[in-house]
């Protein structure tokens, strides 16, 4: 079951700011220190330590209900942890509002997609950048010079982001409504929206869900290219073990909100606690990747 996520919450609202790319690779970007969170009597996260370094790809795995999406919701300010500390680029972020956290340079995609289906493909991406534009609503309505210049800049940024997806989101599709896209392309567009915020940390919630094997292979490569070419650190939640095996520098396994294993894919996938956690839920998930 996934956490309730609020409508209208964009993958990342702003062309940000000074989130500052170019920190030294390997320096910690995200650090969760003993995070706990309960929903009523349910302890969804328990004393969780988790870190992601610059330009690192970390996968978060675990059976349904393990607390993976809840981790994203804590990082992005949807939920406040009951205890523990979250730092992004060394700055504490617990207690900050969602849009402030997004502006610091964290963008996410959602397990259940958040596209504006009646808007065009490119408008979906442009909308994910608008928080940082400076033109007033009146300047925009009257199409005064600053508003027009900003619109050109935002469009150029959206085109740059979409071109990253090559033929899959090729130019002829940009003015088509998002509802005309295949499911896999909608997932790509969701990632494009997150990228439009020019994040330093990208959180991907099940990017390969519903994709066929060829598309899954492609998304695995894409995650690697995002890190290499877009200079982002990535925390990815994924059930497909081919993706996890193919893209991760490090894997963290959760069960019932507790970290049960951490390390390289082979090490984590064969860890007895991980095998046991999946046995009760989805025993084939681990076996399939071997």
Closest CA to 91 of 197, 5, 200, 193: 200
Residue closer to ligand ATP, measured from CB, 230 or 239: 239
Please give the full DSSP string across 134-151, using - where no structure is assigned.
---HHHHHTT-HHHHHHH
Place of tokens 């062309």: 15
Residue closer to ligand ATP, measured from CB, 44 or 204: 44
Six token digits for residue 131:
């928080």
How far, in Å, CA of 278 to CA of 183, rounded? 27
Binding residues with Mg ion: total (CB under 5 A): 4
Report in angstroms how near the CB of residue 275 gets to ligand ATP at its nearest. Answer: 17
Contact 254, 59 (CB under 8 A): no
**From the list Mg ion, ligand ATP, none, partner contacted by residue 70 (C-beta under 5 to 8 A by kind):** ligand ATP
**From the list Mg ion, ligand ATP, none, partner contacted by residue 127 (C-beta under 5 to 8 A by kind):** none
Site string for Mg ion, 129-168 (x = CB under 5 A): ----------------------------------------
Six token digits for residue 85:
């500390």
Sheet holding 28-39: strands in order across? 42-53, 28-39, 83-88, 91-92
Contact 69, 205 (CB under 8 A): yes
Q: Which stretch binds Mg ion (CB under 5 A): 64-72, 172-180, 215-223, 267-275?
A: 64-72
69 is a contact residue toward Mg ion (CB under 5 A): yes
Residue closer to Mg ion, measured from CB, 226 or 237: 237
Residue closer to Mg ion, measured from CB, 31 or 111: 111
2 is a contact residue toward Mg ion (CB under 5 A): yes
285 is a contact residue toward Mg ion (CB under 5 A): no
| Binding-site ranges for Mg ion (CB under 5 A) | 2, 68-69, 111
């Amino acid at each position: 079951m996934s956490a309730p996520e609020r409508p209208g919450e964009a993958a990342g609202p702003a062309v940000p700011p000074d989130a500052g790319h170019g920190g030294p690779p390997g320096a910690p970007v995200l650090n969760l220190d003993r995070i706990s969170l309960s929903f009523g009597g349910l302890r969804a996260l328990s004393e969780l330590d988790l870190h992601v370094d610059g330009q690192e790809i970390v996968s978060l795995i675990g059976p349904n209900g393990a607390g993976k999406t809840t981790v994203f919701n804590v990082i992005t300010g949807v939920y406040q942890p009951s205890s523990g500390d979250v730092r992004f680029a060394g700055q504490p972020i617990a207690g900050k509002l969602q849009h402030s956290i997004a502006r610091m340079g964290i963008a996410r995609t959602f397990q259940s997609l958040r596209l504006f289906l009646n808007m065009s493909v490119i408008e979906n991406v442009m909308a994910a950048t608008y928080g940082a534009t400076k033109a007033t609503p009146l300047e925009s309505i009257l199409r005064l010079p600053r508003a027009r210049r900003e619109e050109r800049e935002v469009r150029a940024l959206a085109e740059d982001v979409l071109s990253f997806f090559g033929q899959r989101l090729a130019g002829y599709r940009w003015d088509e409504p998002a509802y005309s896209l295949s499911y896999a392309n909608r997932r790509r567009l969701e990632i494009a929206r997150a990228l439009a915020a020019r994040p330093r940390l990208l959180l991907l919630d099940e990017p390969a869900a519903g994709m066929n094997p060829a598309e899954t292979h492609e998304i695995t490569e894409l995650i690697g290219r995002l890190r290499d070419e877009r200079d982002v650190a990535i925390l990815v939640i994924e059930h497909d073990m081919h993706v996890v095996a193919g893209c991760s520098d490090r894997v963290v396994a959760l069960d019932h909100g507790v970290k049960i294993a951490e390390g390289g894919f082979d090490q984590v996938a064969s860890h007895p606690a991980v095998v046991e956690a999946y046995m009760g839920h989805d025993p084939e998930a681990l076996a399939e990747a071997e």
